[in-house]
Structure 1
Amino acid sequence: MAPNIHIALIGISALCTTLLAVLWEPAYQFILDTSVAYGIPVIPRLIKNPIAIDVARDIQYIGSRSADIEHFHNIFYAEDTSGKNRFAPPVPLLPITGSVIDAIKPGAWCPQATGDIFPFTSKIVNISENCLSLRVARSYGTKPDAKLLVVVWIHGGGHALGSGSDILYEPDGLVRQAKIDNNPLIFVSINYRLGLFGFATSKALLGARHTNVGLRDQRAALDWVRENIEIFGGDPKKVTVMGQSVGGSDISLHLTSFGGKRGVPFQQAIMMSGASGLNFNTKSDLVANNTAAIAENVGCVKNGDSQSMETLGCLRDVPFEVLTNISTAMSRAARPPFGEGFFYPTYDNDYVLDRPTELMRAGRFVKGIPIIASWVTNDGAWYASPATATDEDVLATFAPWLFGYSESTKAKLLKLYPLDDFKTMVRPEYDGPISPQYYRAAQINRDLWFTCPVIDFAWQYVKHGGKQTSNVWLYEHNSTRFTPVFETIGVPMWRVSHLSDIPYALNNQQLSGGADNSAMQLELSKKFSRRVAQFVTFGKPDGAIEDTEAWPPAFASVTGEELRGEYPSSISFKLTGGPFGPRSVTVSKIPPKETSSQAEEAANWEKIIRRCEFINSPTVRLESGV
């Protein structure tokens, strides 16, 4: 071939390659967007890893991509917590100038028991003390100057287990739908220390202000977001923090942290099945005694003083595997099955200045935060044994956590939840030989752990000037995608259990473990996640998306006179999912003889105002230690 022809062919080939690259990218993106919108599988192509660049510090973050979502995993916001950093507040970490950060795969989870939890959650296999990391998810093609809204996820797990990287918390559906609705956002989830490593306490730790470090981890991660999320195209001034279970209750602890005097690094909050009243036994010596017991177990108590600096120094030298195995075994033996409530946030006269509900009643919290808070219809199902069959069995279901209840309080609880109320819930042909006492116990536990703390927090926040009554909303979630899983593992009586609203809020379109991914459930998930994005974008959960009716604020009908009282006479909330949802309902302390809908009739059946008024009363709150 003549040299000139060869050169010409090379030039033509290069031109064609360039044109193909220019034309293929938008064409591929069109195909991808269309396929995602209609649920058509697309064979992934070979693509370059997404990159986020910190121009000021010359740092590159190399991520990964799944379809139209870019992921950046294992971004450290604080130093390794081993050695001298064990039990100490997090030490902020930024890579050195010129670093290239491998953010392609998730990193280690914080120390906790390994193994399986549920079929729809991740198997825990990789734990390390070098775990204070976060993950970022954004839409493909997000520009550095996009200034997108930010959602920061704080996972639950009873301060005993979990990670922001759990497959249950996959954010792709939420991020994707938000972009489709022109409400684009960036999702961030964080790891924080758990169990002994996150919440150990002793006189030595109190003296050094090295307490509640799991909470301080969360705050450090939120500080990192405020200072660095612009690198990924986010707006540090528009952050919504979102937490479930203890993740939700921790949000309320951040709002009351330092008596509300230091503000918080977020502007809005979504608290799912969790509020400050969930933090049982805040001022008890339980966690200090548990810390001392572990120190004794590993031979670290020096000169008979479990509270000394010498004992603390010894605990910092024990291999983390030893501390993990011993502390998780003791936690699970005392608080089966997962060890919740063995290590948890406690009063330290620093981050936590008093019992949280007392801080709320004193107005010592960060104000001006729009809030959505919630509970799930059968949130308490886990905490009752299927064998529950007597009054004594019912009381035993919450005794390990709420051990300060007087006999009169226990008697009043049983009276407020008469057995006859639960006889219609029995489904022997489906659930097996389950007594109505089980459903009674599950309902009491739901209200003790979740519903009543949430309502109390919302009421006190409005009552003491945290936000106008028009800026606090409640919902009760009454759908689950876990039904086939619960049937398989033999607990169909759990019904719409704790965790049920997570796949809807995050719009998880590929929930694993045999969960329900039917078209109807995926559509419900899409609609629910749109509510989340709506709130993140506009500071209210409705108004810009189609809906049959508005979502009223929690205390829309409360008068100024009633705000000066101890408890509201009516509460409004959104009933999501189930046979009656989505529907807005209002319940009253004294229900009307005729309700306006079946949804309100079902909601009034729960008697949440009368029951929560007692559970949130001064005597019971004191006995609960909240």
Structure 2
Amino acid sequence: MPSAKTNILAISIAILTALLSSYVPQINQVFVDKAVEHGIALPQILILPPTVTDVTRDVKYIGSFSAGVDHFQNIFYAEEPTGPRRFAPPVPVKPAKGSVIDATRPGAWCPQGTGVILPFTSLVTNVSENCLSLRIARPRGVKRGEKLPVVVYLHGGGHALGSASDILYNPDGLVKEAVASGTPVIYVGINYRLGFFGFATSRAMIETKQTNAGLRDQRSALEWVRDNIEAFGGDPMRVTAIGQSVGASDIGLHLLSFNGTQGVPFQQAVMMSGAPGLNFNSNPELVANNTANIASQVGCVDDADSQSIKTLECLRTIPADVLTNLTVTSARAARPPFGEGYFYPTIDKDFLHGRPSELLRDGKLVKGVPIIASWVANDGAWYAPPHSATDEEVLDSFGLWLYNLSSSTKERLLDLYPVEEFDHMVREGYDGPISAHYYRAAQMNRDIWFTCPVLDFTWNYVQNKGANLSDVWLYEHNATRYTPVFEAMGVPMWRVAHLSDIPYVLNNPGLVGGADNSDDQRELGRTVSRAIIGFVHSGTPQSEARSWPFAFSGIATEQLLGDYPTKLTIQVFGGDQHAETVTVSKDDDSKRRTVVENAVSWERLFDRCEFINSPQMRQEAGV
């Protein structure tokens, strides 16, 4: 029971708050914070919502409050992309002077499939084209002029799924940990157009520069942050873009956008499990065919020219729910289970002038952006069918995406991943009837989609003077809080699967869906998030008060002329030590490696990624 002292404090707070809150909002905040500190629940009527007034534009934002964190949600950065604005570049929002923005509730998710995706993600229900909004989370009571560094998060989901409002991306833990470590930050999550609405293409779309709408949305949101975040207490010149999966790959595309001539509205980047590489064939032909197929099904092709302006104008008249249901069904049938790789960024000679790998190597990139890039130990686990048991099934695990690979390329891949090297991973009593071929396919998928593109992008970014050697860092994440969830789903073989690093980076202490919220895992989350927060604040990632060595430490200047690095320094998260730095070289003597170095060496990053990033495979993949 509350003590008499506690009751007196509660009554005092209630009376003073009621008397003064209407006149002195700052005093209201002090008393509310004290109540939270002492575990006292106040009536909601006594708690004033956080407000932000942009005095330059005469706009007020009214948000909501959770313990220690101010939230502002559903803030539109662009006009509703409907009618003539469907597929078109976003039109920035300009609220009328005197506007009061209700930012108390989450905004709609951009058009996508509804229902349950994974046990630890949100149920998708609220879908609308009017979705170009962002959410802001900041430490309680930050004032204009404090100029805190800003994190802008680009969610993943294969350009088919996701929202800034998904519980997977709850920012409270990150914001609170930043305050606890004495380095507070402001968090911004953004929604951008997905699937057909975000990445449809055609001849008419290319000619009128109405392509890659999802990427243009992201840039528009980042520009909104640049132009408006100061009112929320943020520093527009200290913005770190963080993306996971395709969100990370998209950050890379922004660094290659407009041939590098228009800069980017962020100063640093964290690219988690993604970079432009073999992720998707950037040639627009496949996506144009998928667009034409949808246009035909809704009756928008009546002159046999699916690429015409007339077809484009017709597509703008079709109800959004009709297009959503049709395109999601088509995408998931072609690319099960989520529809990834059906609509995605393509070359349009405007935002993206050529193949990403060629733009990168030609130095057509935005320079001066320090980068942390990463992958997860078993990033490719859910892309490999559990029944994989032959060479052909291993190759089929990515055949839908990389459909132009030659016989010699396929043979070389199989040689680089001999099945016997994966025998030790088989756990018959735990995983069920899973063969070494499954783990072989999973590792191959990991390297093709995530690890090797990350290494390719960072190495070539440094080579072509995008960043100094001392401005690029790498980490491998080898821990997961989803083990009990994967067991319940019947997929324990996924291990440290894709998405596993998100709750550590965001320091989410209370995952749902049966995830592991043990003290040890939460402490690792604090370790990882502190490292990222350190980078956001100082430009240098730190782990346990120690700075990481940069990725290409010890590489001589003349070695920068090589196609591939001969040495890698990687921060490894997970295991007994929580964080350990590993350096591996192409010519290492395995007898002198530590346990962790030996584990990283087993991944054969040098010979495998040298081939996966080779001109031969890049040409055949169309990247």
SS of 1:205 mapped into structure 2: helix
Determine helix, strand or coil for the equivalent of 1:276: coil
Give the partner amino acid of 1:573: I
Structure 1 window deviating more from structure 2 (370-379 vs 21-30): it is 21-30
1:622 aligns with 2:619: yes
**1:399-410 paired onto structure 2 within 5 Å:** 399-410=399-410
1:560 to 557, 562, 566: 557
CA distance in 1, matches of 2:551, 2:458: 8
- Which residue in the other structure is 2:33 paired with? 29
Does the CA contact (< 8 Å) of 2:17 and 2:27 recur in 1? no
Look up the equivalent residue of 1:312 and give its one-letter code: L
User: Equivalent residue of 1:289, what SS?
Assistant: helix
The AA in structure 1 aligned to 2:57 is: R
Q: What is aligned with 2:243?
A: 243
Match of 2:548 in 1: 551
Shift of the 19–63 alpha-carbon distance from structure 1 to 2, 3 Å rule, reads: closer
Q: Paired residue for 1:513?
A: 513
Residue 610, structure 1, aligned to residue 607, structure 2: yes
Report the alpha carbon displacement of residue 518 of structure 1 after superposing the two structures with TM.
Answer: 0.8
1:439-450 pair list within 5 angstroms: 439-450=439-450
Q: Secondary structure at the match of 2:277?
A: helix
Q: In the alignment, what sits opposite 2:7? A: none
SS of 1:157's partner is coil
Measure the CA separation in 2 of the matches of 1:45 and 1:53. 25
- 1:300-348 CA-partner distances (Å, limit 9, x unpaired): 0021110111111110000010100110101000101101110000000
**Deviation digits for residues 30-85 of structure 1, max 9, x if unmatched?**
5635x7xxxxx764652111101111222111111111101000000001111111
Distance in 2 (CA, whole Å) between partners of 1:520 and 1:510 is 13
Question: What does 1:28-177 align with in structure 2 at a 5 Å threshold?
Answer: 28-30=32-34, 32=36, 43=41, 45-46=43-44, 47-177=47-177
8 Å contact from structure 1 (residues 550, 584) kept in 2: no
AA aligned to 1:546 is: E
Query: Is the contact made by 2:28 and 2:48 (CA closer than 8 Å) also made in structure 1?
Result: no
Q: Return the alpha-carbon distance in structure 2 between the equivalents of residues 45 and 329 of structure 1.
A: 47
Between the aligned partners of 1:17 and 1:494, the Cα distance in structure 2 is 54
Match of 1:467 in 2: 467
Q: Secondary structure at the match of 1:65?
A: strand
Letter of the 1:611 partner, please give it.
Answer: R
Q: Which residue identity lines up with residue 332 of structure 1 in the other structure?
A: R
Work out the CA distance in 2 between the residues paired with 1:327 and 1:62.
Answer: 36
Task: Give the deviation of 1:17 after TM superposition.
Answer: 6.8
Alignment of 1:407-486 (within 5 A): 407-486=407-486
Q: CA separation of 1:597/1:14 partners in 2, compared to 1, >3 Å: closer, same or farther?
A: closer
Partner of 1:300: 300
Distance apart, 1:102 and its partner CA = 0.7
Distance in 1 (CA, whole Å) between partners of 2:454 and 2:269 is 13
Quote the Cα distance in structure 2 between the aligned partners of 1:279 and 1:593: 32
Alignment check: 8 A CA contact 1:152 1:189 kept: yes
Q: CA deviation at 1:294?
A: 0.3
Q: Distance in 1 between matches of 2:40 and 2:529?
A: 23
Change (3 A) 1:227 1:284: closer
Q: In 1, Cα distance between the equivalents of 2:480 and 2:512?
A: 14
Match of 2:585?
588
Q: Is the 8 A contact 2:35 2:42 kept in 1?
A: no
Aligned to 2:286: 286
Identify if the C-alpha distance between structure 1 residues 617 and 15 changes in structure 2 by more than 3 Å, giving closer, same or farther. closer
Q: Is the contact made by 1:44 and 1:67 (CA closer than 8 Å) also made in structure 2?
A: no
Q: 2:133, 2:350 → 1: CA distance?
A: 25
- The structure-2 alpha-carbon separation of the partners of 1:533 and 1:31, relative to structure 1 and needing over 3 Å to count, comes to farther
Distance 1:279 1:593, change over 3 A: closer
Q: Distance in 1 between matches of 2:181 and 2:452?
A: 34
Amino acid at match of 1:72: F
Q: Cα–Cα, structure 1 residues 42 and 594, in superposed 2: closer, same or farther, change >3 Å?
A: farther
Give distance in 2, aligned partners of 1:570 and 1:172.
37
Task: Provide the rounded CA distance (Å) in 2 between the counterparts of 1:263 and 1:107.
Answer: 29
- Please state how far the C-alpha of 1:613 moved relative to its aligned partner: 0.2
Structure 1 residues 77 and 25, CA, compared in 2 at 3 Å: closer, same or farther? Answer: closer
Amino acid of the structure 2 residue aligned with 1:29: D
Q: Which amino acid aligns with 1:269?
A: A
Following superposition, the deviation at residue 280 of structure 1 comes to 1.8
Quick check: 2:370–2:471 contact (8 Å CA) kept in 1? Answer: yes
- TM-score, L = length of structure 1: 0.94
Q: Displacement, 1:279?
A: 3.9
Distance 1:522 1:158 in 2: 27
Matching residue's letter, 2:499: L
Alpha-carbon distance between aligned partners in 1 of 2:462 and 2:16, rounded to the nearest angstrom: 65
- Name the structure 1 match of 2:6: none
1:400-449 per-position Cα deviation (integer Å, ceiling 9, x unaligned)? 11111111101100000011110000011111110000000000000000
Q: Secondary structure at the match of 2:135?
A: strand
Which amino acid counterpart does residue 311 of structure 1 have in structure 2? T
Q: Which residue of 2 aligns with 1:274?
A: 274
The one-letter code matched in structure 2 to 1:81 is P
Instruction: State the shift of 1:365 in Å.
Output: 0.5
* Distance in 1 (alpha carbons) for counterparts of 2:487 and 2:42: 35
Q: Which moved more, 1:273-282 or 1:106-115?
A: 273-282
Give the superposition deviation at 1:278: 4.3
**Residues 501 and 14 from structure 1, CA distance in 2 versus in 1: closer, same or farther, beyond 3 angstroms?**
closer
Cα offset, 1:551, TM superposition: 1.5
25 and 228 in structure 1: CA distance in 2 versus 1, 3 angstrom threshold:
closer
Shift of 1:284: 4.6
**What is the alpha-carbon distance in structure 2 between the residues aligned to residue 276 and residue 153 of structure 1?**
18
Whole-angstrom distance in 2 between the partners of 1:564 and 1:237: 33
Provide the rounded CA distance (Å) in 2 between the counterparts of 1:75 and 1:567.
44
Q: What's 1:38 paired with?
A: none
Looking at structure 2, the residues matched to 23 and 586 of structure 1 have their Cα atoms a distance apart, in angstroms, of 53
Q: In structure 2, what residue type is equivalent to 1:409?
A: T
- C-alpha offsets along residues 140-173 of structure 1, whole Å, 9 cap, x if unaligned? 1111111111000000000001001100000001
Aligned residue number for residue 541 of structure 1: 541
Q: Matches of 2:100 and 2:29 in 1, distance apart?
A: 26
Partner of 1:393: 393
Aligned to 2:11: none
TM-score, normalised with respect to structure 2: 0.95
State how far apart, in whole Å, the 2-side matches of 1:16 and 1:305 are: 67
Q: Which residue matches 1:6?
A: none
2:592 alignment partner, SS class: coil
1:363-402 map, 5 Å: 363-402=363-402
Quote the Cα distance in structure 1 between the aligned partners of 2:506 and 2:260.
30
| CA–CA separation in structure 2 for the residues paired with 1:507 and 1:488 | 23
Q: Give CA deviations for 1:594-613 in whole Å, capped at 9, x if unaligned.
A: 23310101000000111000
Contact preservation (8 Å) 2:284, 2:348:
no
Aligned to 1:260: 260
Summarize the Cα distance change of 1:16–1:75 in structure 2 as closer, same or farther, 3 Å threshold: closer
Structure 1 SS opposite 2:316: helix
Q: Decide whether the 8 Å contact of 1:203 with 1:308 is kept in 2.
A: yes
CA RMSD of aligned residues (A): 1.8
**Preserved CA contact (<8 Å) 2:72 2:136:** yes
d(CA) in 1 for partners of 2:27 and 2:417? Answer: 67
Residue 297 of structure 2 aligns with an amino acid whose one-letter code is N
Query: Which amino acid counterpart does residue 551 of structure 1 have in structure 2?
Result: W
